[in-house]
Every structure is written in structure tokens, then in C-alpha cells.
Chains A and B, each alone.
Chain A
Amino acid sequence: MSPLAHVAARIEIRLSVNGEERTVSVYPMERLLDVLRNQLGLTGAKEGCGEGECGSCAVLMDGLLVNSCLIPIGQAGGASITTIEGLAHDERLHPLQESFLACNGAQCGICTPGMILAAVHLLDKHPRPTLEEIREGLSGNLCRCTGYLQIYAAVNEAANRSGA
């Protein structure tokens, strides 16, 4: 028998995803990213690198931005997760989704879900961010298409719209 036997048992994990209570039957070391994509059908979070460098898997977990490729589902029990699919309400887009559209903040779109969630997290902490704060807040989300310029414009526009 191979020394690498299948030792894990499935467990039930309950968590809230985009406001809905979900229960998943999982191996505890499955990545949150894979559970979201494959079990819950929420394919908005993407795998760009698998090492927590690109941010395209980013989601909000209990209000904090995290890289879902680095989180074992076993540690997500009881958590409240927001993915890109949870931002719009009945076809009404989140202000950041509107501003990304208006400013061409999404080109190929693969970094966009993680980038928008990072921007949500940023505006939550800094409702009227300076350019420096925007650059720092998004520094964990790599974009190869835009050079970030139009993403900053999108974040600024959303901040101005929501703010005073």
C-alpha cells in the first residue's frame, strides 16, 4: 500500500457565502478557492498563480481581503465570505462595478473580480483614498493589461460617487 494513503475524511463545513448559508462536504485541506469554484459554482474567483502573489483569487472573508488559494476550507467554518458574485444586487451593480465599466478598469477581466474586491476592502477602510493609498491597497493584485491607470480612475470615481 502506498505510503501516501488517502487519510482524510470528509467533514461538513458551514459558512455564509454572499449572504446565503451554505454547507459543504469537503476534505479540510481543500482550498477555499477550489470549494468556491467547483462545489459552489462561484467561478468569479480565479487561480492565477496558486501562491498568493497575483490576487486574482481574492475574496472577502469576515470583511477582510484574503487570497482564497491560501486558505484551507477547514479554517473557513463559520466564516462569512463575499465573492464578486455577491456584489451586485438584482442587476443593480455596485458603484465599483459601475466605475470599472465607465473607466475601462477591466480589459481582459481575469484580475477584475479580485481587483474589485480589493477596492471594496480599500474603500471600506479609506472612503476617500489618496493615490498612494490606492496604490498600496491594490499592490497585492497584479494586472498585466491596464498598467493600473484606469483602475485608479475607477476607484476614484467610485469613491467620489459614494462619498460626499
Chain B
Amino acid sequence: MRSDPQEYQLAMPGTLEGVVSLLASQPNIWMPLAGGTDLMVLYAAGKLSARKLVSIWNLPELRGFEVLPDEIRIGAGCTYSELRHNEIVAREFPLLARAAAWTGGIANQNRGTLGGNIVNASPAADSLPALLVYDAKLVLVSVRGEREVPYVQFHLDYKRHTLAPDELIRAIRLPRKYAEYFSFARKVGARQAQAISKVCIAALGKIVHGVIEDVSIALGSVAPVPLRLGATERVLVGRKAEPALAGLARQTVAPQIRPISDIRSTTQYRSAVAANLVEEFVETLCTRAGRP
């Protein structure tokens, strides 16, 4: 353990109000700590720059799960385990349930939170592409009250986002309109479990009368932020759903992505796999979803 606990403060106000007041009182000083599956790793490695932490684990205002007729509101403090085992999420938002099941092992799923995953903003995070295709909206909160940001606008660049220094994510809103969609997700990691993604894809498609009425495709680990493949989507929408479209879709991928070579994988591999996964999605969409 490369950090000295005596050098760290952990404030535990216990309420959302207490937390946001503290954040507002000393901007950029207090770092929110939820389940710890990211920050405690940095801490143990001696690499956590913050010395003052404020616990947001188990805040009642951040937990909970609201089901409304048109949308669900997931508390930012919802853990991956809770997401996986939630009936509505499993039925209507399977990409998110699957991503939750792919994140770490059971022990880390019991502590990792969706809000934490979003704020940590790793481009390799498994649940972020799912949030992109489900058109998520983030509810942000601070002493100034609440505001909303479409998730697609949240990430600005590698590990930079629009959250103000004294803001927290309070909830994630997902519109309940994807139950009839064909969904496709794959995670490509170094092994079958407990792996950081080299590439991951979350995609949805809807075919009506043999035509692609709607399609959303998002990739992780191919850019500094999780990425919606808008250009691919535009090429596909409105076209007749036939397997030959897969090859066309494949060609649109390369110009949109900027995968890097790092300790885990290579640019060449990520590019090849990203294109393969998009092709596989479109092929499967057109052969399977096209059936009545």
C-alpha cells in the first residue's frame, strides 16, 4: 500500500445536501468517493492526487430507481449488481444490463456505481456506449440546483467532461422506447472476465417493413471518449435491410475512430475489430431483425 492513510481526509456528510455544500465551499479540493473501485486502486498505488475525499457511498438521494411511464431514472449510486438484476433494465435496456455484467467480477460489481463509471470517464468503460445508444440524459446537481445534460454532450475529451467542480451526477434518465429494438453488444477484452475493454460495441436497430427505421451504434476504446458512430447511422437509416449493408457499414467506421496503441492493445487491432463488430451488428440486424 503506497499511500499513508494519515494524509487523507474522508468526509462523510451522509446527505446529498451536505455533500454539495462541501463541494461548493472548497471547489476542486474535495473528490467524491463512491464505491471506490477506481479511486481506491489509485490510492493503493500511491497515485491519487486528491487528499480530501467526500464519501457519496450509500447516499439515499443517489440510490433508488424510479420507473415512470416514459422513462426510468437510475440513481447515480446504483451499483452494477443492482443494474444487472433490475427487471426493467434487463428487459428494456439489455445493453446496459449486459455491460454491467461485464464490468469486473462480482465483488467489484457490488461496489462499482454507474455514476462513478461515467465521471471516471475511461474511454474503455463498458456501460458508456450503452448509455449513448439509449439516448441517456444526465441529471446533475449542485448547491445551485439541478440541470440536465444529454449524455452525448457530457464527454469533451479524454477524461474531461462538462461536470462543474462542485457538481455531482444525481441520476441517469433513459427513455423507455427501446423495448422493440434489436440489441447487440460485444466486449472484446484480454480475457473472458475481469478485463478492461480493448474495443466494445453497443448497438440498437429497428426494422419496419424491411427498412431500417432507426439505428444507433456506439463504440468504446476507439477514441478519447465513448463514441456514437453518427456517420454510420446516417448511411444506414432509411435503407432496405439486407446483409450486403454490412460491408457498406464497415467502410464508414475507419474515418470516425482514432484508436491508440497502448499497454493493452494496438491501433491496428482496435481498428480491425471495430470494423468487424460493426459489420457483424449490421449483418445480424438485417438477417435476424428483418424477420416478422
Contacts and interface: CB of A to CB of B under 8 A. Distances in A.
Nearest to B109: A140
Majority secondary structure of chain B interface residues (helix, strand, loop or mixed): loop
Interface in A65-102: 65-67, 69-72, 74-75
Contacts of A14: none
A31 interface: yes
B111 A29 contact: no
Contacts, number: 116
Interface in A27-44: 27-31, 34
Given A65-B106, A121-B106, A51 B41 contact: yes
B108 A50 contact: no
A139 B109 CA distance: 12
B110 interface: yes
A74 B193 contact: no
Interface string A130-157: 0000001101110000000000000000
A69 B5 CA distance: 13
A123 B256 CA distance: 46
A55 interface: yes
Nearest to B42: A51
Contacts of B192: 139
Interface string B185-201: 00000001110000000
B43 A118 contact: no
B31 to A, nearest CB: 12
B238 interface: no
A50 B104 contact: no
A74 B12 contact: yes
Interface residues of B, number: 35
A64 B111 CA distance: 9
B41 A5 contact: no
Interface stretch (B50-58, B125-133, B174-182, B271-279): B50-58
B40 interface: yes
Nearest to B33: A72
Given A29-B3, A65-B110, A136-B106, 13 more contacts: A6-B6, A28-B5, A28-B10, A52-B37, A65-B107, A67-B107, A70-B37, A70-B40, A70-B111, A75-B33, A75-B55, A75-B58, A118-B107
Interface of B: 1, 3-10, 12, 33, 35-37, 40-41, 43-45, 51, 53, 55, 57-58, 81, 104-108, 110-111, 192-194
22 contacts: A7-B9, A28-B8, A29-B8, A29-B43, A29-B53, A34-B1, A50-B1, A50-B41, A51-B44, A52-B104, A67-B107, A69-B40, A69-B44, A70-B36, A70-B108, A70-B111, A71-B40, A72-B33, A74-B55, A75-B58, A122-B106, A139-B193
